[in-house]
Amino acid sequence: MLHTVRQPAVAGAFYPGEARTLAGTVAGLLAAAHAEGPAGAAPTPPKVLIVPHAGYVYSGLMAARAYTQLAGVRDRVRRVVLLGPVHRVPVRGLALPGVQAFATPLGEIEIDAEAVAALKPLRQVVVHPAAHALEHSLEVQLPFLQSVLDDFKLLPLAVGDAEPHEVAEVLETLWGGPETLIVLSSDLSHYLPYAAARNLDGETVERILALQGPLTHEQACGGTPINGLLLAARRHHLQPRLLGLCNSGDTAGDRQRVVGYAAIAFSEPAHARH
């Protein structure tokens, strides 16, 4: 049987394209995020993370704030359900890549065939390789996941035009137990002046922390998957925690047209983690 692999599309652009440099960059970002505090180690392991997806020079440190929360569960998480918005190819529903593995300079990650099979009855889930071929929102998360987790399989979904209940149904189907981590890839506002972005992003984060949707794409480019998450989060009584909030004007860009970034962790109540 032919081994099909989705090759990296933004290595060397959004993040380093050479394995040793990439590994060192990710390790440095994780170390810096850990040293920053006060987020520190998670009081309880996260079930869901919202993580930004810009180039590492812009949002890598904020992404690292999310991924440091996994230090205590690196050997426990066996499946990562990764959702991110489409930026290049329009899609109706949630798109699977139709391959057996995703590659980065750090190696290949096996696609979870069992999870793919579990989604087959859902009409909103389609197979659309073109939606994944050039999409960065999922790819930029992979080197972090490869660095903070041991042996895991991946279920990647590029999210297009979908209703919140359709996204929530997918999440429910794959919810699992402590072995399953859900990662939503999303930036916040785009191309506003610095002060306006801070105001809007602050309001957006407050809505997320209150589990109150829906969000628009002006508030978060990953608003569609986040809206589905908020439905599931209320159903599962998830407890959100803000790990950090900034924008590109704080990191590596000018302050005339900035992009917002947040890292948010959601934990299950204690009785649901066993």
pLDDT tens per residue across span 2-46 = 899 999 999 999 999 999 999 999 999 999 999 987 554 557 899
Q: Tell me the pLDDT tens digit for each residue of 241-254.
A: 999 999 999 999 89
**In 10 A of CB 237, how many CB atoms?**
11
Per DSSP, the residues of 75-129 read: TT--EEEEEEE-SSS--BSEEE--SSEEEETTEEEEB-HHHHHHTTT-TTEEE-H
Nearest to 111 by CA among 74, 82, 147: 82
For residue 173, being part of any structural domain is answered with yes
Q: Tell me the pLDDT tens digit for each residue of 76-108.
A: 999 999 999 999 999 999 999 999 999 999 999
Q: With 70 as the cut, is the pLDDT of residue 233 above it?
A: yes
Q: With 90 as the cut, is the pLDDT of residue 140 above it?
A: yes
Region 35-63: mean pLDDT is: 87
**246, 52 in Cβ contact below 8 A?**
no
For residue 18, being part of any structural domain is answered with no
Domain CATH for 56: 3.40.830.10
Please list, in sequence order, all residues whose beta carbon lies within 8 angstroms of the beta carbon of residue 152, skipping any fewer than 6 positions away.
77, 78, 79, 80, 109, 145, 181
For residue 19, being part of any structural domain is answered with no
Using alpha carbons only, how large is the chain's radius of gyration in Å? Answer: 17
For residue 75, being part of any structural domain is answered with yes
Domain of residue 237 covers 24-94+104-125+140-154+162-215+222-244+254-272
Give CA torsion, residues 242, 171, 123, 99, to 10 deg.
Answer: 90
For residue 134, being part of any structural domain is answered with no
The domain tally of the chain equals: 1
pTM above 0.95, yes or no: yes
Q: What pLDDT band is residue 189 in, cutting at 50, 70 and 90? A: very high
For residue 249, being part of any structural domain is answered with no
How does the average pLDDT of the chain come out, rounded? 96
**194, 249 in Cβ contact below 8 A?**
yes
Cα-based distances in Å from 108 to 27, 84, 142: 19, 19, 10
